Structure 1
Amino acid sequence: MSERQTYNWKNHRLTYVRHKSLNPKSKETIVLVGGWCSAAGYWGLNIPFFRTLGDVIELDLVGHYPAEIFDQKKGLTLQDFLETQAQGIWASAGEKDITLVGHSTGGMAVLAIASLFPQRIKQVIAIAPYVHGPVPGILKIGVVGLRANLGTFFDFGFKIGKSLPKALQIGFSYGVYDSTAFHAREDIKQFLKEYNPQFECLNPRQILMILEMLDRTDIRPIVFGNQVPTLIMRGEEDPIIPGKDVMELERTTPHVKAVLFSQCGHFVHMEKQKAAEKVMKDFIVMKKSSTTKKSFF
């Protein structure tokens, strides 16, 4: 594995790691972008699979450790977020024939960037992508708090929350369909053990800034009519991203293959790892997608 590289763009710092392909004949370049509250190492379970298909670049999501927002007093707009994420992709992967893979907020980012720069993106895989605000449920409290200049209070609360014993496990338990089965897996136990130190380094204020931006976000006007071959995967029991939001994207995107996983929550690539990786391999290797065709697993 190569050393982590750093790229600065305006008010942001992004980092990335390039993993060389295990297949010398492959010419694929695959960029992975995690979701909200992800950190370095988030794709640890899936990187060995992606390396069988091509060179893999593990890229920070804007504002997520080790990424940094220099001046946190400045507001964060969707334009700033997408511009920074895109510049990180060009810096790490070049500017053509790129396969983008993103989960949740990262899924939102790769869909929008592919729509804005279709000549540079070869294909897109969006896993349970965030589509539009407002942010639902208890997370809205954090958004309102930041707008009311109570960010320091919520910083403190986030620090306490993520430092609690098994905080990371609790977070995944909320997002998966069968938390008992999920946490009983030996690979998941090892992943959480290795991932937790990076998760604990997340900056509360930066995470809250991203959340506040998401509350104001709507990528539907951006991705409407996108021509880039796209695979959208989501869980039937996702408690975080409303299925109706993703279905709307599926209906309005011409070259999309939509795959719905039964008895699965938000973390499709982890919960249904083998099935999800088979779907992704078929999509990447075939290098084409069907038009608004839905499959079920």
Structure 2
Amino acid sequence: METLTIPDFTTDPFFGLEDAWVETAPGELTHYHELGEGTPVVFLHGSGSGVSAAANWWLNLPELSKHCRTIAVDLLGFGQTIEAPDSEFGIKAWVEHVVRILDALGIEKTWLVGNSLGGWVAFQFAIDHPERLAGIISMGTGGAPRTKALASHAKPTMTPDGIRQALLDFVVDPSLVSEELVNSRYAAASREGATERFRAVVAARDIDRETLPLDMDVLSKLDIPVLLIHGREDKVIPMSRSLQLLDVIPHADLHLFSQCGHWSQVERAEDFNKVVASYLSTRG
């Protein structure tokens, strides 16, 4: 297998995370951030404009890495991960990408922490590869047919104002949407080829939402610990989604954050980190 050249790229210093790369398939170079030691916990981001592992988890990895080995990855089609020319996007493709990452890093079994799309990927992973999974923590999990969508999320505008509005729709507290965060997300969304790539992944996501929703019958037999986290004021994916999963998954617990939208790991970062660290320590 020909060795791929690591790109000349450094994650925005705003996020304070160091870059790492691993070759996960011929022509495929996965970008990720890793901190800490011990039980592996893989973090899966959502699907907003300009999203990346760093842009989802920069407030969580430094604290949670005190308790476990944290690995936040850029999924195929997102961030700085380089996909092979014949790569396809979609829920099954993202699950298999996570499998390849685990194999490349020598991880037999892991926890998955997923936000929005990442939560959907985590549960589909549990359906397809239960033997590789120790447990799931998910926030605002996707994977259900859409009844109503925010325009900023379904059809985002790739301008600074469009990015700002999308981020504002994630939170209750608008002060969290700083100019530094907007500028970083816009810069990521504006890189060469990023717009076309983003359209492709959003199209795949939306097709699979209708054609490959999570199989609740399989999830009803899931025999791993699951922590569902949801912001009570989530406008992107309503709280009822986590209530639905809670009703189905036998070993699921639910933690609701008040005055919190779709971005609980950012809007309630300190509390989120305590909840997740406590859950992992008692079940990991």
Q: Is the 8 A contact 2:160 2:186 kept in 1?
A: no
Check 1:65–1:182 CA distance in 2 against 1; reply closer, same or farther (3 A cut). Answer: closer
RMSD: 2.9
The match for 2:268 among 269, 272, 297 is: 272
Provide the residue aligned with 2:171 in structure 1. 176
> What is the rounded CA distance, in whole Å, between the counterparts of 1:140 and 1:263 in structure 2?
20
Check 1:77–1:273 CA distance in 2 against 1; reply closer, same or farther (3 A cut). Answer: closer
Q: Deviations over 1:8-29 (max 9, x none)?
A: 43685422232234xxxxx221
Task: Please give the TM-score of this superposition, normalised by the length of structure 2.
Answer: 0.78
The match for 1:126 among 138, 147, 153 is: 138
1:28 lines up with 2:39 in the alignment: yes
Provide the residue aligned with 2:79 in structure 1. 65
1:4 lines up with 2:20 in the alignment: yes
> What is the rounded CA distance, in whole Å, between the counterparts of 1:20 and 1:282 in structure 2?
16
Structure 1 unpaired stretches of 5+: 22-26, 143-157, 289-297
What is the correspondence of 1:166-245 to structure 2 with a 5 Å cutoff? 166-179=161-174, 181-183=175-177, 197-201=187-191, 203-215=194-206, 216-217=208-209, 218-221=213-216, 222-245=218-241
Q: Deviations over 1:170-207 (max 9, x none)?
A: 3211111221x434xxxx66655666544544822222
Q: Deviations over 1:267-294 (max 9, x none)?
A: 0011111221111111001117xxxxxx
Q: Is the 8 A contact 2:170 2:236 kept in 1?
A: yes
Q: Is the 8 A contact 1:82 1:113 kept in 2?
A: yes
Provide the residue aligned with 1:39 in structure 2. 52
> What is the rounded CA distance, in whole Å, between the counterparts of 2:280 and 2:166 in structure 1?
30
Q: Is the 8 A contact 1:131 1:246 kept in 2?
A: no
Check 1:57–1:141 CA distance in 2 against 1; reply closer, same or farther (3 A cut). Answer: closer
Check 1:199–1:11 CA distance in 2 against 1; reply closer, same or farther (3 A cut). Answer: same
Q: 1:100, CA displacement in angstroms?
A: 1.2
Provide the residue aligned with 2:33 in structure 1. 17
Q: Is the 8 A contact 2:242 2:254 kept in 1?
A: no
Provide the residue aligned with 2:7 in structure 1. none
The match for 1:85 among 98, 102, 105 is: 98
> What is the rounded CA distance, in whole Å, between the counterparts of 2:228 and 2:93 in structure 1?
25
Q: Is the 8 A contact 1:134 1:214 kept in 2?
A: no
Q: 1:36, CA displacement in angstroms?
A: 0.2
Counterpart code for 1:51 = S
> What is the rounded CA distance, in whole Å, between the counterparts of 2:132 and 2:225 in structure 1?
12
Identity of aligned residues (%): 19
Provide the residue aligned with 1:146 in structure 2. none
Please give the secondary structure, in 1, of the residue aligned with 2:130: coil
Provide the residue aligned with 1:291 in structure 2. none
Check 1:255–1:213 CA distance in 2 against 1; reply closer, same or farther (3 A cut). Answer: same
Please give the secondary structure, in 1, of the residue aligned with 2:142: coil
Task: Please give the TM-score of this superposition, normalised by the length of structure 1.
Answer: 0.75
Q: 1:227, CA displacement in angstroms?
A: 1.3
Out of 113-122 and 262-271, give the one that drifted further.
Answer: 113-122
Counterpart code for 2:104 = A
Q: Is the 8 A contact 2:24 2:104 kept in 1?
A: no
Provide the residue aligned with 2:253 in structure 1. 257
Please give the secondary structure, in 1, of the residue aligned with 2:259: coil
Provide the residue aligned with 2:114 in structure 1. 102
Counterpart code for 2:39 = E
Aligned residue-pair number: 258
Q: 1:58, CA displacement in angstroms?
A: 1.6
> What is the rounded CA distance, in whole Å, between the counterparts of 1:219 and 1:9 in structure 2?
27
> What is the rounded CA distance, in whole Å, between the counterparts of 2:279 and 2:147 in structure 1?
31
Please give the secondary structure, in 1, of the residue aligned with 2:160: coil
Please give the secondary structure, in 2, of the residue aligned with 1:119: helix
Q: 1:82, CA displacement in angstroms?
A: 1.8
